[in-house]
Amino acid sequence: MLPHLPHILMTVDFLMELASQHQGHLPSSLPARDRSHPYVQICHGSPGLLMLLATIRSTHPEEFEGIRRRHPGVRTGVMNAVWEQGLVQKGLGICHGVTGNAGPIMLLSVGDNALSPSSSTSSDDLQLSRALAFLVHATELPPLSTQSRLPYRTPDHPFSLFEGLSGAVCAWADACTIIEARLSNGRQISPVLGLPGLGGVGLISIM
């Protein structure tokens, strides 16, 4: 075991407890403050916790299963919170936008073997359908659409990797790979470099 891994897992346990205490949301600061609209974005909130869990699952699957056993239902609660409040106003980006909220849910929904359609469950299918709904909705947002889509706004950097269209393309690349795997009748699908930081479907994270 890596010498720093126990400390990382202790931190993850603490974050899971926090999410459990706040209806699936992760406070952006401590002590936690009551907010009428919690942050729901990977840079400040529960989607970031899902991103961390997806990374642990790809690099240390046994430890990931231990987290699931110690915190039953918390991961699903976090995914539900992101689904219910994840259409954030800042647009389609992955840092604090719609595709960023879809990505971690999508990568966590594909079963123990991300490229094996036979490993999925009905719960996986539900979460994947939610992530794909977010990704489809993002195609209607600025800068892809010139029509006003209130309350959404054009990102400050509409074509950048973390705020704009470039990052959204990475999320869509992951989605295409997952859909192809589901439709392939068991044929292995090559890994794809998708969401930055996660390494994409079938790849080991760079985090």
What per-residue confidence (pLDDT) applies to 207? 39
Structural domains of the chain ordered from first start: 5-182 (1.50.10.10)
What per-residue confidence (pLDDT) applies to 193? 67
pLDDT, the chain, mean: 85
What per-residue confidence (pLDDT) applies to 200? 65
pLDDT at 202 over 90: no
DSSP state of 112: S
Q: What is the CA radius of gyration of the chain?
A: 16
Give which of 105, 88, 104 is closest to 37, Cα–Cα: 88
pLDDT, average across residues 36-64: 89
In tens, the pLDDT along 82-134 reads 999 999 998 899 999 999 999 889 888 875 444 455 555 678 889 899 999 99
What per-residue confidence (pLDDT) applies to 33? 81
| Residues 159 and 143 sit within 8 Å (Cβ to Cβ) | yes
DSSP state of 13: H
In tens, the pLDDT along 140-161 reads 998 888 776 668 888 889 999 9
pTM of structure: 0.86
What per-residue confidence (pLDDT) applies to 197? 62
Joined together, the tokens standing for residue 110 give 């594909």
pLDDT band at 73 (very low <50, low <70, confident <90, very high): very high
In tens, the pLDDT along 173-189 reads 888 888 888 887 766 66
